[in-house]
Chains A and B, each alone.
Chain A
């Protein structure tokens, strides 16, 4: 029993470290001033990588492009997906299966193929009709992405529509609603949660898409393509800073959603399911999803502001100074050694290597060569290494 829980605990720890370990490491590296993303050696706590990230013009331009393209994709893919789902639900079952396969196909086709075929097709069209204005990265990327992203949206809508009671629409018609009114007042409100999810999924899918976008975006770049080319040139902790931002946004979204779900559940269920949190007016107000969101955003704002005021330049300067000092030290040592060598060369022409003394010293247990003997009693070591090893072996030589 005890062994089981021990094993279970260990397994849980291993599992969660596997899941979240990389994220934790990444977050830590975002605040280390080291030029390469790493945790040890820790140099200085810094918020400078965020500045570095926001200062990267190529990434920021890509972000703006991603937002524009994402908005376009959401605005087109969601209605297209909804229309497709509605069309499917109206068809007789045989036709439905066929059309379903056709509509789902773009998901199964590799993104690379979609990207290339999009530029080929629209290249033809723009040349053929002289509509050269259409042949730009924004338009092509939106068109290329919605070919498969609208199918994602459609899947979301199909799942929701399956739970729709068609007699609701009939009842609305029977009560005098026009088909348009029945759609707006009955079906759309029912679909609202699915429209929300579909918008979210399509936005994410558009944002993170690489395979298709890298072709269709032409000379422009989106956030993802810019990021990919940056990584190709070597990584630095500003990418960790980006990860911190994304993780934070995700956490805020998840916590707000959780507060919303719990509240909804408490409202749906009877009094019994209500926790004392909802009974007290203060905690009740505090756990309102809007308030939770506001508090989280407030905390982030304060932390960001404090972070932006944090100046690690002193520490970094100190680290730099330390490095310089050390460099200086090494240089001095080297200089000393070279001088010593030059001096030695005049007195001991045979030992011309820095290791000469060391090996000579080690070899002291066996009958030492004559020439080494005078070097041993010398208080000054010819090299840093020579001194160290020489020091160890020196007593043996004196025996």
Chain B
């Protein structure tokens, strides 16, 4: 949509956070964020609530200035540029639709303040309503819309002035599960259609992983890791990322020996070999954590084999969540439901489990302690 009105080569819609820190008094809400969001990318910030996501987003949209560092949009330094002058549009956590205006007036508000004629505004509002698949609701009141409709109207309003960057602050958190999943697909489709850079904030790792081109995982104001969803999931660089994104089993141990990409770790359950996360170097005797995901623990002997006693299980259709005790740690194992051809293990049964060294990650203990 913005492309049609700008026939010239696609504008630079990138965002560069250049060593951005934001402090409130002594409290550091965002600590030295340094990353580039590419033009036309769907980029997510993922982190628990209170980690500074909204603060960072407000800084990008111009409601606050960074205490240190610079924000560059399309290569231009945004210092001193107010929110109404930036090529960004923000979708607020609670949408902030204008309750006293009709749906069409809401969507056309950005055009109204730019002096577009009433007729032109109405035409554009109808086009946008068409785009969000809600034609003909322009004359309704905002209060008459459902949660999902409000969501889409807020997106249409933000896109009305063809921003280069669309910032979304947990826009789906107020919706029910079904609608949330539907809107994920929809948001992704709208982003592909308009080609605008989306910066999406969420505490829901499912949302971040399914929609994004890249994800930045944040904890306590610090950006822990930036990368594609599968890299974030499979190659966590810190204990926080490993435990916050998806389910994970953590085993404490002591490094026995490191040999390049892999290391051997002594744990109460035995000695395991695993990939070293984040390209770190350990020496023998260092304390470390081994992370292995429930679905990577597979029955049968082989690499890193050990035995565990099944304590309980939660059957969830496609997967069977099994909880097993090994040494003094409880492990979570996801087993694919083999149907009637297979059989479910019973409580008290002894399981033989193992995992491939490449599917487990050794990470330092230190940041785990500070992050949880």
Contact = CB atoms under 8 A, between A and B. Distances in A.
Size bracket of the A interface: 10 to 19
A173 B82 contact: yes
A107 B61 CA distance: 43
A324 interface: no
A177 B98 contact: no
B84 interface: yes
B84 A168 contact: no
Interface in B74-130: 82-84, 88-90, 92, 94, 96-98, 100, 109-110, 112-114
B98 A174 contact: no
Given A175-B109, A176-B110, A170 B161 contact: no
Contacts of A170: 63, 83, 90, 92, 96
B94 A167 contact: yes
B13 interface: no
Most chain B Cβ neighbours within 10 Å, of A167, A171, A172, A186: A171
Interface residues of B, number: 24
A175 B157 contact: yes
Contacts of A167: 92, 94, 96
Interface of A is mostly: helix
B158 interface: yes
Given A170-B83, A171-B90, A176 B96 contact: no
B91 to A, nearest CB: 9
Contacts of B109: 172, 175, 177, 185
Nearest to A181: B113
A270 to B, nearest CB: 11
B158 A175 contact: yes
A390 B84 CA distance: 106
A189 interface: yes
B100 A174 contact: no
A126 interface: no
Given A165-B96, A190-B100, A178 B84 contact: yes
Given A170-B63, A185-B113, A177 B96 contact: no
Contacts of A174: 61-63, 83-84, 88-90
A112 B96 CA distance: 47
Given A176-B110, A177-B113, A178-B113, A171 B92 contact: yes
Contacts of B88: 174
B98 A168 contact: yes
B110 A175 contact: yes
Nearest to B93: A167
Interface in A156-188: 165, 167-168, 170-178, 181, 185-186
Nearest to B86: A174
A28 B88 CA distance: 70
A176 B161 CA distance: 9
A8 to B, nearest CB: 41
Nearest to B114: A176
A173 B92 contact: no
B114 to A, nearest CB: 6
A167 to B, nearest CB: 4
Contacts of B161: 175-176
Given A176-B113, A177-B113, A171 B84 contact: no
A176 B84 contact: yes
B141 to A, nearest CB: 10
Interface string A138-170: 000000000000000000000000000101101
B31 to A, nearest CB: 24
Contacts of A189: 100
Contacts of A178: 84, 113
Most chain B Cβ neighbours within 10 Å, of A168, A173, A175, A181: A175
Nearest to A170: B63
A175 B100 contact: no
A192 to B, nearest CB: 9
Contacts of B157: 175
Contact of A177 (B62, B84, B89): B84
A286 to B, nearest CB: 26
Contacts of A171: 90, 92, 96-98
Interface string A183-204: 0011001100000000000000
B90 to A, nearest CB: 5
A190 B98 CA distance: 10
B92 A175 contact: no
A358 B186 CA distance: 113
B348 to A, nearest CB: 55
Given A170-B83, A186-B98, A175 B89 contact: yes
A351 B179 CA distance: 115
Contacts of B84: 173-178
A171 B161 CA distance: 13
A93 to B, nearest CB: 15
A189 B98 CA distance: 10
Interface in B120-166: 157-158, 160-161
Most chain B Cβ neighbours within 10 Å, of A168, A171, A174, A177: A174
Given A165-B96, A167-B92, A190-B100, A175 B113 contact: yes
A37 to B, nearest CB: 50
B122 to A, nearest CB: 17
A288 to B, nearest CB: 20
Nearest to A166: B96
Nearest to A167: B96
A17 B63 CA distance: 60
A177 B109 CA distance: 9
Contacts of B62: 174
A30 to B, nearest CB: 45
B84 to A, nearest CB: 5
A171 B82 CA distance: 13
A170 B54 CA distance: 14
A181 B114 CA distance: 10
B16 to A, nearest CB: 20
Contacts of B94: 165, 167
B81 to A, nearest CB: 12
Given A171-B97, A175-B89, 15 more contacts: A165-B96, A167-B92, A168-B96, A170-B63, A170-B90, A174-B62, A174-B90, A175-B157, A175-B158, A176-B114, A176-B161, A177-B84, A178-B113, A186-B98, A190-B100
7 contacts: A171-B90, A174-B83, A175-B84, A175-B158, A175-B161, A176-B110, A177-B109
